[in-house]
Amino acid sequence: MAGNGYGVDMKVEIRLFASLRKYGLPQEEMELAEGTTVGNLLEKIGIPPSEVAITLVNGRHAQEELPLNDGETLALFPPIAGG
């Protein structure tokens, strides 16, 4: 998608799992500026990085620095460690 002058260059689907659902809808499409990274998006949604254990972009493990692309899906899972 070409730039439209309003800083909205791409759409990314966000999927929030388990306790992270409190930060938004379980599945939502967001419009983002080109170059937005996983970390930027977490900040935009308001999720502290410490509450995220697994970050997947299109089903692949991703780091916070990874820039997102139009049409991708970001899935976030919290840390679970009880026994």
The least CB distance from residue 55 to another protein, in Å, is: 10
Q: Phi, psi at residue 60, to the nearest 5°?
A: -110, 140
In the complex with another protein, the residue whose CB is nearer, 8 or 17, is 17
**Residue written as token pair 């990085």:** 49
Q: Which of residues 11-70 bind another protein (CB under 8 A)?
A: 17-19, 21, 26, 50-51, 53-54, 56, 59, 61
- State how far the alpha carbon of 2 is from the alpha carbons of 11, 22, 23, 34, 71, in Å: 12, 32, 29, 10, 13
In the complex, the smallest distance separating the C-beta of residue 45 from another protein, rounded to whole angstroms, is 17
Decide if 34 contacts 58 (C-beta within 8 A). no
Footprint of another protein (CB under 8 A): 17-19, 21, 26, 50-51, 53-54, 56, 59, 61, 75, 77-83
